[in-house]
Every structure is written in structure tokens, then in C-alpha cells.
A and B are shown apart, each in its own frame.
Chain A
């Protein structure tokens, strides 16, 4: 393969990268990508077979026509500058592939690919972007080197069209090594560049994942469809594997009718933010294990954020945080972007939050049901012999877990869905169980409320975090127990075998995705400060340990002393080797005149060094030594007179050197 073949191959690699990059843009559909891929493939055969370059004016006219077309596209169809620009760039690139004649055409083509990748950067957060960027770096380094060499060769007027430089395995190996070094430097610079966001033209993210159960009105059955949706909602980093099941609290719903649940208790209040930037949600009760969570929440279509029950404090990049006194957390508005925050919680079943308002005792639905008496009798049988509220609630919870089955196929709409569940089907999912339990507790006079949120998730031990998905959406019950507080009850039986456990490859891929989102996409100035402090701390600790190790007390031990001596010896030997390399004899010794170099070394020992810009004659005139003059004259004779010294002359040189040595 010659240079032209390599450049053509790289050009089509870039084309593939560009198409891959734009496929990451949400608004670009597969049909568009497929069509352009076909055009690129056609151009490949065109370049191989025909190799005819289009006249320049055709490309210019086409480019102007496309610009006009995509202006209309922006104004009428896409209404997104980014989408129209991406389409325009891609079509231009496909067209350019039919017009590859001069070096400039290739450079224009690569620039178009670069802007495609830039467009992907502006609209995606996929970790695949990093892979595309890395391959692009390899390709661009390769072609820039080739083009530079080719151009320099052409300008040197050497005659042949292509430089006679073999592009063998070592060359490609060097390219890979250079590209790898470039990516390492890229990552280092990425973490160092100060993060500032002026935000004048900041673009909002995508619409967000549609989640169910986190609004003021939740229809019965709305959670059901998402129970088989594996879409990741959030990732929660924990220090250790959780020993207990974690309930991520969402919102509280209080009023039920046959349509569904509503939130009528409105006790919205701002959470106080302390001087250290942390929102203090509640006081620590000392009950339950205290944990710290690093939450990366995907863009959801709700303003609620989630933390393990019971949340105590939250820290994040939002200006305000609100709660309603029951431990729910909500932002002022839907963020429409991935957000990251820290939360601290006590893993307790008991939540001391909130007053017992009348809504939590409203059992009007079940009392007005045509089968109220049957339900009441059922309840009486369940709690027979139980005296306290907590015993009754526990009995009810056990009843549902043992006598009912979990099923996603249970009916979730209809006027009497709750009665059907309780008396006939005895199968359902979390909404059915939680709703039924709340109604029965209220009927018994025990205040109860429905809580929606997420149940635990999947532990990824590769990264020490929980993967919480849509399918982990859950509803449970909080019953007010006098003297204790709001106690959590979960009447839903475990859903065994419904969800397939992912393989370790799946877990690893998710770990990469999480790391990518956490440390690249959501890297902030706070992270930079933490990194700087950590590096400073590590350097300080290292210096301290080294100092202790090298202290006199420690050096008394023979192994420590020996190690120190070895280290010192290595440093000294390395210094001597470096200094020797820089000595005159290494620097100035031309192959043919070693005697001249020897003379310089002898004079250097006497303190007379020849300057780098000093000619031999100038040095000899400065030194004013006849032996130096003689040796210099012989050197000049040999060097400029193209005449090697004969044996007699060499003897005289040797004796002159001896004379210098003795003097």
C-alpha cells in the first residue's frame, strides 16, 4: 500500500466514525444514518474505480444548495439548530467523498468529521463517545503526520511524488503509542482544566424518563407497566454492600378513590441550608444505621429526588430543596438533566416525620364499599387476638405476604379493583397490596399512608453501588403507631424469578457507564477541589512517611540503612552517567579528529573550555599556546583541507598532546 491508499483508508474510517457519532444524537434517526452510509459506500467504489475529481464549482454549488435546504429544515421541520447542523454536516461529508483530489479536500473532510463528533459531544452523554473520540485521535494523528511529511517532501523538490518512507509495523506501533499518550494527556488536562459555566446559551437536556408514582395524582395501575422496564433510574454509590433492604423514599399519597391515589396534604416548606451547603432535612434519631449515598439520578420527569428512608441531609448543586414534613424531597422544578447529589440517611423502619392529619385516617372508600361488611369481617379474622396497633399491622402484613401472590397480570382498573383483589383474585403487585393494607388499617382506626419510591435495586459489587431501575418502583405503607411514630410496612410478597439477573459483563458495562457519568459527564469544580486536596494529602503523607523512614531512629535498622544506601547509590550513579554524557568528549568528538577532542578535554581540565560558537581557530587564538595552535592547525588541515595526516604528523600530534598533559 502506498501513501494514497493509507490516506483513503483513513478517510473512510473517519466516515464510519462520523456516522457512528451522529447516531448518538437523539434526533437523528436510523433511516438518515443508513441512507448516508449507503452514499459513503458508493463513494468508496467511486474513488476506487473512477477516481475522477468533480469540478470545484459543482461542489461549491451543491454546498450552497444544501445550506439553503437545511436552513428550511431548521425553520420548519427540526426546529433544532443542532439537528439541522448535524444533518447538513453529514450530507456535506458524503458529498465531499466524491471530491477527493487535493490534500485540502481531505483536510476539509476530516474537519467535517470533527464537527460531527463535536455535535455528538453537545447532545449525548454516552460513554461510546469516548471510544469514538479515541479512534478519531488515532486516525487524525496518523493522517496529520502523513500529510506533513508528504507536503515537506513535495516542497523539497525531491522529484518523486511520494516520500520513500516505509510505513511498516514500527510506524503504526509508534502511531498507537503516540495516540495512547495523547489520550493520557487528554484525561490529565480534562481533570485539571478549571470548570466554569457562564450558561448564556446553555442547552437543556432531553425530556427525561417517564416515571410513575411521583406526582400529586397517581392512577391505580400506573406503576404496573414499569415493573418490567429495566431502564436505569439512578445509581446509588455506597461505601459497603447494604446489609438491609433499602427503601428509597419518593412521595406520600393520602387520599384514595377507585381511580387512584391523590396527595391532598400540602405542607410544602423550604429545607434550611447550612453554611457548609448541606440541606438539613431532619434530626438524627439514632435509630438505624447511618449511611452516605452518592446518587446519580437520570433525568426524570419529576421534581422529586430520592434518598434512603429516613433522609437526614442532602448536598447537591441545586439552590433550593423543599420537603412536606413527611421526609419527601423535591426540587423547585423538574431538572430535565442528570443530577448528582449526596444524601445521608438513617436506615430505619420508623420515620418520626409529620403530623397525623385527618387524611391519613380517611377510610371512606372502603366504608362506602358495597362489600364493606365482608372486608371488615376479613380484617377481624386477620387481627384476631392482636391488641396493639403494631401487632395488628404486623399481622396484616403477614397475611398479605402469605395468603396472596405476586402477579403483574392482575387487573388494575375498575370500580371495585380493591375488593376484587382482597376477596377474589388475591393476586397483584405492590400497588394492590399497599392500597389494600392502608385501607384496612384506616378501617381499623390506625392512621396509614401510601409511600411510593424505589425498593433497593441491584448491587454492583464491581463499583459498590446500587443500580435502581424502573422495575424497582414500589409502593409500601406507613402506619402511625402511638409512642413510636410512622412505621414502615411492606405487604408485597417478594417477586421471585420475575427479573433476570444480569451477567458480570452487564455489571461491568454498567460500571463503566456509571464511572463515565460520574467522573466525566458530571465532573465539577467541587470534584477538582476534592482531587487537589486528595493529591495534596497523599503527597504530604508520602513525604511524612519518607521522612520517618529516613530518620536516624529508623536508619539504625540494617534493612532500612541498606535500602537507603542502595537508593543513594542509584541516584549517584545516575547523576554520574548523565554528567558523563554531557561531557565535552561525548559532545564534540567528531569521528575523524579524536585528538582534537582529547586536546579540548585536556584544556577543559585546566579551566579553558571552548565555547559552543567559538571556532577552533578562535579558541587557539584565545588560549595562545603553541601546542594548541599546532593541534588546531592539523585539525583544520584535516577537516577543511580534506587531507589525512601521515604517520609523522600524527606522531607530532601525540607528542603535543603529551606536552599539554604534562604542562
Chain B
């Protein structure tokens, strides 16, 4: 069940302020029974709230730079142009016109390559600050007739890409997926506003680029690998490669397996029933008595780096203990989460720590682990 719907029913939730539908952005000066008339009146006379601070894309955002070969080309063009002017020789003018026409054709073809190339971003798995993460670009050519040739995707805003993504040819109306490695240098809900798509096609004289707006968000968890307690095992556990707990009679789901007739039908995993062709059975984790509470006093520090290292440490401790089968809870100045074991708890804690903000106070941030 989408979390949003649950929260909407909880009127005490501080996460959302529920407004009635009439509290719209456009407030018409006159009311009318017909909604289309209201809308028209609103468009013409209504006071508008400014749109979000997100930059509106301009009509023709293109960057253009001249390559080394292009500089030679332009130099030769100017030289012949001067010769043509000097001599009045029409055949030299014809050669100049030819060179100029190639520049025009280059502009048209490079524009047709970049035009209607849409890029979407998808991130799978957990993303940790400072660690390479695999991201997927879904690149679509929305043109109906013309393919796009030889372009690259680079410079993800908000992250460092290890290597540009190159596309040799993208047929019209098709979408391809390209994986890339990106590293995010800070935690939190990061907005990836766009990528740069550029091409030297067709002649390599100019390099034309555009910023493709992606408007995606990535939740970047704190770094749990650089702490002193990190280890390969913990990294694998944190990535979910090794399931943390043992099977038992607890309440946390440990794993799913195929349902057999001898199993209790109460434990069928109905959520997957619609997608899977067979029924799956829930297996639960063993209840553990090992509990720790991480108390993180998230006061603002003198420098942001100290606070961030504290957050990383808290995340590392949580991952470490959860990986060893502990039930781990988190208590901060802003919120408290009861100790629970398992991957779901790790996700919940990492999410909290990814989004945690420092609180102003007189003390320094600190972490303590209470068993």
C-alpha cells in the first residue's frame, strides 16, 4: 500500500498538511458554475503564485564549442574568404559558400541528433555517500523518422560520473538503457536536475550540447564503509547480499520460498501473488533478545564535517549491529525509532539518518550505543 495513502488517513501526522481542494494556487476574482469558464477567467485575471524555484528551461538551451579541427576549418574558411574578397573571383566565393554550407548542415544535423532525445534516470539498490553506485539511463529518441547518432551523456548534476555514456545510434521511437557508475558526495534526498547530452556529429567541427532535465531524486545514505567498524561482511550485509538474521518464529520476514500444500496458508505472501505465477510463503526471522539503542544527539557542530562524520558513524554502528542480528533502535533529538532487527529496519534507519538535520544548541553532537 503506498505510504502516502496511509499518511493521508492519519490526520495527526505532521508530515503533510492537508488542504482542501478549494485552496488552489489560482484564485479567480469571479466565480462561475462552469469549471472551464472559471479556468479561463483564472488564466486571464487570476493572481498567480510564483512557480517553484526550479529553473524554467529556456526555449533553446544549447552549448556550442569549436573543436581543434573546427578551428583549422574556420581558419581556412577565413583565409579563402579574404582571398575571394581580394580577387573578386566568384569561384572562390563558391568555395567559401560551400564551406559555409557545411557549417550550416553541421548545425542542422547536430540539432537533429540532440533534439527529442529524452533521458530518464533510474537508480536501483542502495546508494551510499562517496561510494560508486550503478545508475541507469533510459534514453529515448522521441523522433518519428530520424535516428540520433554518436552522442554522449555526461556531467550528471549532483554526482560525479566515472565515465561518459556513449550511444552510437538510437533509432527513432526507441528506448535503450545504459548503465553508468556515479558517486554522490553528500547524503540526503538529492535532486538530479539534469545531464548534459553532447555530440560532435556529424563532422567533428563543433561540439554541441544540451542540458536534458531529468528532475529525479536519489536518496543517498550516509557512508557506512569508511568507519573503523566497517568490514566487507558489513558492506555485503548492508547491500542486502547476505541476509542478516536467522529463520525463526519472529515477526520480521526473513525470506520467501515456494508455498507447499503442507504450509499454513496464513503465511502466504499475497503481495507477490498478483505478479508471480506461483504462491510464495513467508519465512520469519527468529526473535532476538539482543537490542541496542543508538542515541545520537544531533546538535549542530562547529563545522559541518564533524556532524557528517557523526551521521556516518551512527549509520555504521547501526549497520554493524543489525548485521550481527541485533535489534537496533535510534533515538535523536528529533525522533525515536524502536529497536527492530532486519533489513527493513536498516533501510528505515539509514533513511532517517540520510535525512537528519542538525539541531541548534550549545552542545556538540555525540553518539552513544546503549545495549
Contacts and interface: CB of A to CB of B under 8 A. Distances in A.
A652 interface: yes
Contact of B271 (A124, A185, A629, A646): A646
A196 interface: yes
B168 interface: yes
Given A130-B94, A632-B4, A611 B105 contact: no
A590 B120 contact: yes
A182 B105 contact: yes
B101 A186 contact: yes
Nearest to B58: A612
Contacts of A56: none
B54 A611 contact: yes
Nearest to A114: B76
Interface string B178-200: 00000000000101011000001
B359 interface: no
Interface in B241-291: 271, 274-275
Given A148-B150, A178-B105, A197 B52 contact: no
B351 to A, nearest CB: 12
| Majority SS at the chain A contact face | helix
Contacts of B201: 145, 148-149, 152
A618 B52 contact: yes
Contact of B217 (A156, A158, A182, A615): A615
Contacts of A649: 1-2
A185 B101 contact: yes
B248 to A, nearest CB: 26
A145 B3 contact: no
A501 interface: no
A12 interface: no
A630 B4 contact: yes
A648 interface: yes
B16 interface: yes
Identify which of B89, B90, B213 gathers the most chain A CB atoms within 10 Å of its CB.
B90
Given A125-B91, A618-B54, A182 B98 contact: yes
B51 interface: yes
Interface stretch (A420-428, A438-446, A567-575, A620-628): A620-628
B274 A646 contact: yes
B90 A118 contact: no
B86 A121 contact: no
A107 B70 CA distance: 13
A229 interface: no
A663 B87 contact: no
Interface stretch (A68-76, A187-195, A296-304, A406-414): A187-195
B89 to A, nearest CB: 6
A590 B216 CA distance: 13
A412 to B, nearest CB: 41
B358 interface: no
Contact of B104 (A185, A613, A626, A653): A185
Contacts of B51: 609, 611, 614, 622
Interface in A615-658: 615-619, 622-627, 629-634, 636-637, 639-640, 642, 644-649, 652-653, 656
B102 A141 contact: yes
Given A615-B216, A634-B4, A608 B86 contact: no
B86 A622 contact: no
A178 B95 contact: no
B97 A612 contact: no
Nearest to A623: B25
A80 to B, nearest CB: 15
Given A149-B168, A182-B102, A607-B42, A613 B271 contact: no
A165 interface: yes
A523 B85 CA distance: 13
Contacts of B76: 114
A613 B105 contact: no
Contacts of B3: 633, 637
Given A133-B95, A615-B216, A153 B87 contact: no
Interface in B162-216: 163-164, 166, 168-169, 175, 189, 191, 193-194, 200-204, 213, 215-216
Contacts of B91: 121-122, 124-125, 129, 520-521
A152 B149 CA distance: 10
Given A613-B194, A614-B52, A121 B4 contact: no
Contacts of B122: 639-640, 642
B300 interface: no
B101 A189 contact: yes
A391 B267 CA distance: 134
A52 interface: no
Contacts of B203: 141, 144-145, 148
B43 interface: yes
A16 B136 CA distance: 49
B123 interface: yes
Contact of A644 (B56, B100, B200, B275): B275
A137 interface: yes
Interface stretch (A27-35, A198-206, A217-225, A307-315): A198-206
Interface residues of A, number: 95
B94 A133 contact: yes
Given A117-B95, A156-B164, A182-B98, A151 B86 contact: no
Contacts of B194: 613
B200 A178 contact: no
A627 B104 CA distance: 50
B304 interface: no
B97 A190 contact: yes
A164 B100 CA distance: 31
B89 A122 contact: yes
B277 to A, nearest CB: 15
A325 interface: no
Given A202-B86, A613-B55, A648 B1 contact: yes
A339 interface: no
B94 A186 contact: yes
A83 B153 CA distance: 49
Nearest to B199: A152
Q: Pick from B7, B150, B163 the residue with the most CB of A within 10 Å.
A: B150
Contacts of B163: 157
B204 A521 contact: no
Nearest to B18: A626
A616 B87 contact: no
A260 interface: no
B46 A193 contact: no
A611 B4 contact: no
Interface string B139-172: 0000000000110100000000001101011000
A190 B215 contact: no
Contacts of A199: 86-88
B97 A187 contact: yes
Nearest to A118: B95
Interface in B1-59: 1-5, 7-8, 16-19, 21, 23-26, 39, 42-43, 46, 48, 51-52, 54-57
12 contacts: A121-B91, A140-B102, A149-B201, A156-B164, A158-B166, A202-B86, A590-B120, A612-B57, A613-B215, A614-B52, A615-B217, A656-B5
Cβ-closest 4 pairs across A and B: A197-B88, A633-B4, A156-B166, A630-B4
Given A137-B102, A153-B168, A614-B215, 7 more contacts: A122-B89, A133-B95, A607-B39, A611-B52, A612-B57, A618-B52, A624-B23
Interface of A: 107, 114, 117-118, 121-122, 124-125, 129-130, 133, 137, 140-141, 144-145, 147-149, 151-153, 155-158, 163-165, 178, 181-183, 185-187, 189-190, 193, 195-203, 520-523, 590-591, 605-609, 611-619, 622-627, 629-634, 636-637, 639-640, 642, 644-649, 652-653, 656, 663
